[in-house]
Amino acid sequence: MQEELKEFGLTDKEIKVYLACLKSGTALVQDIAKNAGTYRTYTYEILKSLKEKGLVSYVIKSGKQYFEVAEPEKLINILKEKENKIKKILPNLKELHKSSTEKPKVELYENKEGLKTILDDIINTKKEILVYGSTEKQLKILEFYFPNYITRRVKAKIHTRVITEKSPQTIEMLKSEKKEFRESRFILKFEFPTVTYIYGNKVAMISLEKEIIGLIIESKAIANTQKQVFELLWKLAKK
């Protein structure tokens, strides 16, 4: 019983006094202390604590204070009361938790190995991928890994839309558009210094200059904004 009462939330001393009260019925502090094996002063303080929890009450008889314990079923009632209180504030608790979990997360990656990690994350998310940026620079930096990325994306049947520069290399890639689940459009006379991937609730931004740096931002709001930017560019881009 003591272990179960501990789970309920009573301390060791409270359990001793509570069980002594059950045995004693209506009794004086000194009698309860004797049955509990605790000092009278401590017993009075513990009884006060049990009273605040609704497990003990007292009556005055001939000017003396007699304590009596509530029916054991009171334990169940207290738990139900606690449950009802928690249910009332549950929506607020969920909202607080939601606000903390939805905070944007930012991860920084460097060098070619870091870019590989970003591309792995893009594949693993398994959502449509929206891309705008330089295809040629990516192929140059990730000469051997980028074809592997395309193969894995095709195997996972992940569709992608790409806005990129028009060049002999990107025009050549149009031949394999259908089998590689890709649709490309071009923006003329514009040189991209970066490439941006939008997938799920994430945005990956990669610098393709001398210093290779990539960022993954996980944020629904930022991803949605970038999707709108992409759609605007998609309308302006040429097939």
What is the pLDDT confidence band of residue 97, given thresholds at 50, 70 and 90? Answer: confident
Q: Which residues pair with 189 in a beta bridge?
A: none
Q: What is the pLDDT of residue 167?
A: 85
What is the pLDDT confidence band of residue 78, given thresholds at 50, 70 and 90? Answer: confident
Q: Is the pLDDT of residue 227 over 90?
A: yes
What mean pLDDT is reported for the chain? 88
Mean pLDDT of 5-13: 84
The CATH number assigned to the domain with range 2-74 reads: 1.10.10.10
Convert the pLDDT of each residue in 172-218 to its tens digit: 889 999 999 999 999 877 777 889 999 999 999 999 887 889 999 99
Is pTM beyond 0.95? Reply is no
Q: What is the pLDDT of residue 102?
A: 65
Q: What is the pLDDT of residue 101?
A: 63
Q: What is the pLDDT of residue 120?
A: 93
Backbone angles phi, psi at 110, to 5 degrees: -130, 155
Reduced 3-state DSSP string for 67-118: EEECCCCHHHHHHHHHHHHHHHHHHHHHHHHHHHHCCCEEEEEEHHHHHHHH
Alpha-carbon gap, residue 24 to 13, rounded angstroms: 16
Q: Is the pLDDT of residue 41 over 90?
A: no
Convert the pLDDT of each residue in 109-164 to its tens digit: 998 889 899 999 999 988 899 999 988 888 888 888 888 999 999 999 999 999 99
Domain boundaries, the chain: 2-74, 105-236
- Architecture of 105-236 per CATH? 2-Layer Sandwich (3.30)
